[in-house]
Structure 1
Amino acid sequence: MLLIGLVGGCSSGGSLETATVTGKVSYQGKPLPYGSISFRPEAGSPAYAKLREDGTYSLSTFGNGDGAVIGKHQVLIIATETDAGIAPANDSGIEMPVTKSVIPRKYTSFSTSQLTAEVISGKNNEFSFNLVD
């Protein structure tokens, strides 16, 4: 009987509640067709998504498309020459070149992006971000 109680306690999950999060990222008024977006909550695991060709995204934290942890988040967006398919050729005799950001670098860090979102349980959590120089 004790074993059943222990197993039951472990199966309750313990993971934080998530809610579906979707949206769109634009740069200079046009959809950003490549790159990624991350939401970092005040507590818990961050959420991540690849941007689609039309700039849209659907976040995942613990599983495919489960959204982001409920609460306030800092947001970062990364889009590099590699993501865009325009990375410089690599000479096999040298180290891999560092890929350059194709959006302003301030958006590539949680500490400098100034992008935020609040994910609310039971709400339509749709966040669009228009990046500017």
Structure 2
Amino acid sequence: MRLFGLLFMLSIGLMLCSGCFGQKGLETAPVTGIVTYNGKPLPYGRVSFRPPAGSPATGEIQSDGRFSLSTYGNGDGAIVGTHQVSVTATEVDAGVMAATAANTEMTVPKSMIPKKYTSFSTSELTAEVVSSGKNQFALELND
């Protein structure tokens, strides 16, 4: 009887916890856009949107400069609200980093865009994601 009670309590606890872990979190909205560098589409790299609270959204930049963001799942967008934005594009992303010889230290990939864009605190890029309406952003990077 004691074992039955213990199993019953354990199953109730698991059911309560599954509700906690199954939630997605804060409201998201689909986000797409294009990244240009010196007026031309940036064909590689990664875009990140960071809200004041909650998980950041990220997305790979495609060969035409376009991106779409995901926060909790594939293509769900970014959390609704104001975001700081960063863009990274390295030699690795561009496919131009030289191979590292065996038994040597791996070098840090060089940024292919100005370093200021790679940090939320220095990029000066922001975006306002709304719950209804278009969330299409043009991120223009320059030297």
Post-superposition CA distance 1:30-66 (Å, at most 9, x none): 1000000000001110000000000000100000000
1:127 & 1:101 partners in 2: Cα distance? Answer: 22
Identity of aligned residues (%): 58
Which residues in structure 2 correspond to 1:1-133 (within 5 Å)? 6=16, 10=20, 13=23, 15-133=25-143
Higher strand proportion, which one? 1
Larger helix percent: 2
Cα distance change of structure 1 residues 132 and 92 upon mapping to structure 2, 3 Å threshold: same
> Is there any run of 5+ residues in structure 1 with no aligned partner, and where?
none
What is the Cα deviation at residue 18 of structure 1?
0.2
For residue 115 of structure 1, what is the amino acid of its counterpart?
L
* Residues 96-124 of structure 1, C-alpha deviations (whole Å, 9 max, x = no match): 11110000000000010000001010111
Contact 2:58-2:70 within 8 A present in 1 as well: yes
TM-score, with normalisation over the residues of structure 2? 0.85
- Which stretch of structure 1 is more off in the superposition, 100-109 or 84-93? 84-93
Residue 72 to residue 88, structure 1, CA distance change in 2 (3 Å): same
Unaligned runs of 5+ in 2: 1-11
Figure out how many residues of one structure are paired with residues of the other and give that number: 131
What does the per-residue CA deviation read over 1:68-118, in whole Å, with 9 as the maximum and x for residues that have no partner? 000000000000011000002211131011110000000000010000001
Question: Aligned AA for 2:134?
Answer: N
Quick one: distance in 2 between partners of 1:83 and 1:11? Answer: 34
Residues of 1 paired with 2:102 and 2:65: CA distance? 33
Q: Which has the larger radius of gyration?
A: 2
